[in-house]
Structure 1
Amino acid sequence: MRRTLIFGLAAVLAAAGCGVGETPQAEGGASASAGGKVELSFLVFETPNLNAAFWDAAIARASAKVPEVTIKKLVTPNIDRTAYAKQLDAAGNLPDILQSVNPAGFAQAGKLAPFTDEELKNFIAPKAGAIGGKVYQLPYNTQVIPVVYYNKDMFAKAGITATPTTYQELLDISKKLKDGGTTPFIVGGGGADTWADMYPLTGTVATDVYKTTPDWLLQRAQGKVKFTDPDFVAAAKKIEDLAKNEYIDPAGLSRSYADTEQAFRDGKGAMYPMGSWFATSADANKPSFEVGAFPWPTDDGSPVTPTFTGGGTLVSATAKNVELAKKWALAFDEDKENNDAFVKADGSIPAIKGYTPPADMGPVYNATVEIYQKGMQEGSIFDAFSQEAGDGALPPGLADKAALGVQDLITGKKNAQQFAEFLDDEYAKATQ
């Protein structure tokens, strides 16, 4: 979910190369590929975890299952990948297949091909992210957002013998840590990584708003609720109070995502609320202490597990061959080795029926998966605020605005009521 600065269209196209996404066309709309195969363009993004070699290997595995297709890999420059896809579309160069791009706007404009119920039969949550009842993005991956990762040594030194099951217990633990000279929460979000400050609020919105009103954002779109309603303000007030009590250090907001992660590994604070993708990083870059994990607690101790399921491939409605593109997308997202690779590199929890992670996964990843599996068993799965997809999602761009507002909430520039008013104002602008 990393968000970065968006440049102008000219700069973007220059970064990708002139005519990106364009391929010679053969008669009947097929690409003039060698051996009569259809060449399809595939837009991916690269990170330190998901590097060029990772994508090349994953593409090769899917292509081996769909030999009628050859893939032309396109790589998103260092900008928001959804914004980049929109700019490519505006230039008439929407790729045939896209990875982890938000379908909002594209689907409503008829730019994407929906997947059928038959094509979605192997997915655990086949209707996740549906727009108007249709699914345009394969719901292949689940993330728990947030998980509270914690430093077991710091907990033990402070005399904390159990993880909290209620919000008051979380506050009690935070006070004990602070009184002992330890910063309770590591929260960052500097530079282009403002999104990384969202996760304490994502937790409180799940426990205080979505727990009683799971379709709250859909109701917001219908004008039935507002951010200034008491339940949402109460969720924001918890974050305001965490900062006022110095359980969150506002100075940490200047850290990038990578620096925030490193600050936790360096023992700069005891708890790190972050998406479940942190788990494999914690296992791979072992700090000097043991890392534990627990879900963000509710007031009454009842379970709430905020998650996002989706993030898979999408197919352009004008792909050179839509059916082959969908066949290839399914092969890519359902391939066992591909999913194993995503698990090991990026902490994915594949939402594929019958899938089991590799047996050699580390303890932090396994503890994270246990939180998700327990949520499934308890029926405590709810949306993760600012991460939603489909009809019940924030308008495009509003998650970024919310992250900026959270910075003001933590630094004291806005109180909870003012933050909620800010979100209502931005929501109105985004939906005009």
Structure 2
Amino acid sequence: MRGQYEHYNILPLYALGVKPAIMELPEIKAAIDAICRVDNLPIPVIRARPDGSNDDSTMPMDRLKKVNDILDWIASVVGFQKGNVANQREHLILLLANMNIRNSAESTNQLHAETVEKLMATIFKNYKSWCDYLHCESNLRFLEDYDKQQMELIYIALYLLIWGEASNIRFMPECLCYIFHHMSREIYTILFETVTGSKEQLEGRDDEFFLREVISPIYQVLMKEAKRNNKGKASHSNWRNYDDLNEYFWSNKCFHDLSWPLNSKADFFRHSDETHETARRGRSQATIGVYKRKSKTNFVEVRTFLHLYRSFDRMWIFFILALQAMIIIAWSSLGPVGVFFNSDAFENVMTIFITYAFLRFLQATLDIILTWNALRNMKFTQLLRYFLKFVVAAIWVVVLPICYSKSLQNPSGIIKFFTKWAGEWYALFQEPNN
């Protein structure tokens, strides 16, 4: 009677007796038949534990793993939990059924080839973009003289199982791409060795292997960094969020540093708590430096109202320049049209370009100040961009007021100051060398 009360979401895959109406739909049957083709896959062997017991058997001996479909096979090879496999099995069947019925007006008991190809393109769009960005070759490879549709379904099922068991790590899409990149290569190697006959026996893994060896170490980093934010009161420069950790996988460095299987001594796993613990034990400063916490990458948010100007600088510049021009025109007795035909009034309106230069200089300065904590981690090209932007803005701040003051016959106020300062600066360079 246990089979009648098996938990399910939409599809009662394990229901006994008369099957529900949804299980009789042709597209559902086609999807189930497609993922149940496992005759040509190597059956993994579950090794007996040292204590003489296994997960689902107390027999102290090696045994072949029972495989019902592609997801069962992947779970046995990689080590996914049973609940995750059940959820993603239903997920994959519904995805295939929905896409299959869209591709054909008539319902058939066979899965169309373009159905799996379109699902592949949808699911792996981000993965292919990630590979292109890092200039690395995609691991979505296929064997000759092998069932291509089956390999496509294996890759799709593998990604869904990784996503389903990733928990909070699924908010780091490039991290999932990194995990899938290496695990898909393992799957391809297994199938290649099966076809060539270079490996006779495939060793399976327990249900918690992926959770224990891949997800838990990364989640521990997330948990430690989340604790450092002091309930949202700590400065953003003192802890790393999802985006900061995910940016680690935006560089080829992750392949060499983190490697596969995951290297526990990689920069990604550095944390300041280890530094304090090492110092407490009295180790040398050189040793402490090895465990220094990995800092932020490209952006460190600073809590200040200046972000209102920096984030919307174009809008503020437009409003300030428009206000300045309207005040000058309103103060003049010539009217909005006559201003442009009077040289003195028109020169006053031209001061908006000086104001624009100062506002751009302010924006370039704020860029440096508000990203100061992340400057040491930026690339040389990024640092050069900030520096050149500041220098060019500073040059215009000096050049425009001087040129404007030179064009006036009787300057006053700040214009007179710039005129006098420019004259003294020019006279200084005109003096003969001693």
TM-score of the superposed pair, with normalisation by structure 1: 0.19
- The structure richer in helix per residue is 2
Larger radius of gyration: 2
* TM-score where L is the length of structure 2: 0.19
